[in-house]
Amino acid sequence: MTKLTLIIGNKNYSSWSLRPWLVMKKIGLDFEEIRIPLYQPNSKQQLLQHSPAGKVPILHHGEITVWESLAICEYLAENFDSNILPQESTARAIARSVSSEMHAGFLNLRSSMPMNCRARLPGKGMNPQVAVDIARITFIWRDCRQKFGFEGDFLF
């Protein structure tokens, strides 16, 4: 089998890096992990050696390079485990929509309450715009659990 290599930033701070890493771990793929510390003087140069986008995450699979976390997860679903996404087309379409919204949306939340898995900062960064983002996320999760995930541990 062709070797898989995932280039990521810090899993504590980079949710984009963490997404494909979690998928690859969940489906039991054997892969090499290369971590490039972000926001260092030579970070961009190191990233550009792996992808012209110069951002994490990046997946190398033989001669194939896939960058961007959603694209990587789609690639993994197509090539390694089709159960990453729901099999039923309506659920799969909603899962893709929700994934895209979670991936690219909620800018108020991201800027006011950046990811830090190790920190406990209750209420820090809360403001009315963040509350709107949190309400939307809560609605999405409840709605998906009720419609698609009621039989298992996941949204779908």
Query: What CATH code would you report for 4-83?
Result: 3.40.30.10
pLDDT in tens, 98-141: 999 999 999 999 999 998 889 999 999 999 999 999 999 999 99
H-helix segments, the chain? 15-26, 43-48, 69-79, 89-104, 107-112, 128-144
Per-residue confidence in pLDDT tens, the chain, 156 aa = 689 999 999 998 889 899 999 999 999 999 999 999 999 999 999 999 999 999 999 999 999 999 999 999 999 999 999 999 999 999 999 999 999 999 999 999 999 999 888 999 999 999 999 999 999 999 999 999 999 998 888 899
Of 18, 23, 17, 35, the C-alpha closest to 79 is 23
DSSP assigned state of 84: G
pTM of the complete model? 0.90
